[in-house]
Amino acid sequence: MTESKTLAKDSIDKGTVEGVSALEADKYKYGFESDIEQDFAPKGLNEDIVRFISAKKDEPDWLL
């Protein structure tokens, strides 16, 4: 490890890390869920993807 990474790692408070880990473990403690419809576009950006996003947002054709 480089010296700067070692210094950064040593300066992290272990109590803070443990506290965050405890909060993450209780994230879904009360059973909250949301079933949201999702669509995924392929990686990258081209005209087809812009048209796909525009159609999902119900944008008028003149915006393209």
Q: Residue 45 pLDDT more than 80?
A: yes
Start-to-end Cα distance in the chain: 50
DSSP 8-state class, residue 28: T
At residue 19, the pLDDT reads 82
Cα–Cα distances in angstroms (integers) from residue 33 to residues 7, 9, 24, 26, 45, in the given order: 40, 35, 15, 14, 31
At residue 7, the pLDDT reads 61
Give the phi and the psi of residue 42 in degrees, each rounded to 5. -65, 160
